[in-house]
């Protein structure tokens, strides 16, 4: 590490004063972005708990081998994402916490979030009836061109966006679902209101990639952060597809759990 430590750390328990792995240069990702990502990952991994204070800027800068201004640029982006908050004279504190998210036959966002001790909410962004294209038709096992209801929403836990995505429903099966969903903030409850008492997960497909502009915006996550992209098909008890959806989960705010 080329940068010499500029401030001698106070005595006592001290994390992060040992040098971190060098931040690679020339990778196409700026230093401040990489540092922000590492700090975010460390927080997600539990290195610092909510409410805990991070090492001071000078220490972090030294540990990462960068200038304090570069380090501050990293912290600024974390603050922008809502993960940390800094106050002059006081320090920088952690705000975030990941959610344990089991995926099973009866995956229900509301139940999962409530079980995690937080407040679930489905923020309805928009819905409209459109004719099923080839992909939607295949997933829902209907004829191409059949009217489907397309709903776009964000799912939040304690006001923090967890997932953002789109779901398609057979329009004739779910009249006015968008209106009831918008009113209740819960998809499961809206379906129940419409007489659909049960459905279960048929298949979940997962990939991951860096968030795009829309996802960054809707999920309030920093550029370059990863999203887990879930494509899922839910079916009614008679086996008929009810819903096909594709959602992006803020990877740092959720940990998917599977038990075969």
Partner DNA sequence: TCAATTTGTCTATTCGTCTATACAAATATG
Partner DNA sequence: CATATTTGTATAGACGAATAGACAAATTGA
- What span, in angstroms and rounded, lies between the C-alpha atoms of 106 and 34? 37
Whose tokens are 């966006």? That residue is 161
- What span, in angstroms and rounded, lies between the C-alpha atoms of 102 and 207? 16
Among DNA, a second copy, none, partner that 103 touches (CB below 5 to 8 angstroms by kind): a second copy
Does residue 87 interact with DNA by CB under 7 A?
yes
Main-chain phi, psi angles of 209, to 5 degrees:
-165, 170
Based on its alpha-carbon atoms, the radius of gyration of the chain, rounded to whole angstroms, reads 22
Least separation in angstroms between residue 150's CB and a second copy is: 19
- What span, in angstroms and rounded, lies between the C-alpha atoms of 221 and 126? 21
Does residue 237 interact with a second copy by CB under 8 A?
no
Tokens of 6: 């500029």
Which residues on neighbouring strands pair with residue 235, listed in sequence order? 200, 241
Would you mind telling me the total number of residues written for the chain in this entry?
Answer: 260
The interface region with a second copy, picked from 79-87, 146-154, 176-184, 197-205 by CB under 8 A, is: 197-205
Among a second copy, DNA, none, partner that 251 touches (CB below 5 to 8 angstroms by kind): a second copy
By beta-carbon proximity to DNA, the closer residue of 17 and 204 is 17
Binding residues among 18-37 for DNA as defined by CB under 7 A: 25-26, 28, 30-32
Please report the beta strands in 158-199, taking only residues with DSSP state E, as ranges in sequence order. Answer: 160-170
- What span, in angstroms and rounded, lies between the C-alpha atoms of 1 and 256? 36
By beta-carbon proximity to DNA, the closer residue of 44 and 56 is 56
What is the binding site for a second copy (CB under 8 A)? 21, 24, 27-30, 32-33, 36-37, 41, 44, 77, 98, 103-105, 107, 200-210, 213, 222-224, 226-228, 251-252, 254-260
Instruction: State the residues that interact with DNA by CB under 7 A.
Output: 3, 7, 10, 25-26, 28, 30-32, 54, 56-58, 65-70, 72-73, 75, 86-92
């Amino acid at each position: 590490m080329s940068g010499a430590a500029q401030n001698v750390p106070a005595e006592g328990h001290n994390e992060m004063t040992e040098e971190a792995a060098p931040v690679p240069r020339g990778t196409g990702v700026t230093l401040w972005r990489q540092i922000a990502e590492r700090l975010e990952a460390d927080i997600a991994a539990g290195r610092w708990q909510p409410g805990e204070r991070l090492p001071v800027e000078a220490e972090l800068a030294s540990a990462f081998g960068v200038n304090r201004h570069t380090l501050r640029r990293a912290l600024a982006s974390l603050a922008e994402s809502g993960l940390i908050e800094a106050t002059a004279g006081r320090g920088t504190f952690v705000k975030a916490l990941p959610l344990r998210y089991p995926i099973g036959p009866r995956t229900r966002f509301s139940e999962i979030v409530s079980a995690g001790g937080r407040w679930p909410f489905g923020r309805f962004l928009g819905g409209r009836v459109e004719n099923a294209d080839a992909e939607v038709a295949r997933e829902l096992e209907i004829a191409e061109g059949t009217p489907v209801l397309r709903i776009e929403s964000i799912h939040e836990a304690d006001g923090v966006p967890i997932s953002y995505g789109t779901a398609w429903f057979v329009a004739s099966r779910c009249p006015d679902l968008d209106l009831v969903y918008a009113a209740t903030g819960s998809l499961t409850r809206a379906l129940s209101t419409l007489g659909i008492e049960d459905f279960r997960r048929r298949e979940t497909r997962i990939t991951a990639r860096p968030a795009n502009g829309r996802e960054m915006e809707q999920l309030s996550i920093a550029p370059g952060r990863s999203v887990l992209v879930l494509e899922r098909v839910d079916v009614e008890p008679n086996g008929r597809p009810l819903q096909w959806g594709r959602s992006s989960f803020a990877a740092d705010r959720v940990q998917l759990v599977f038990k075969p």
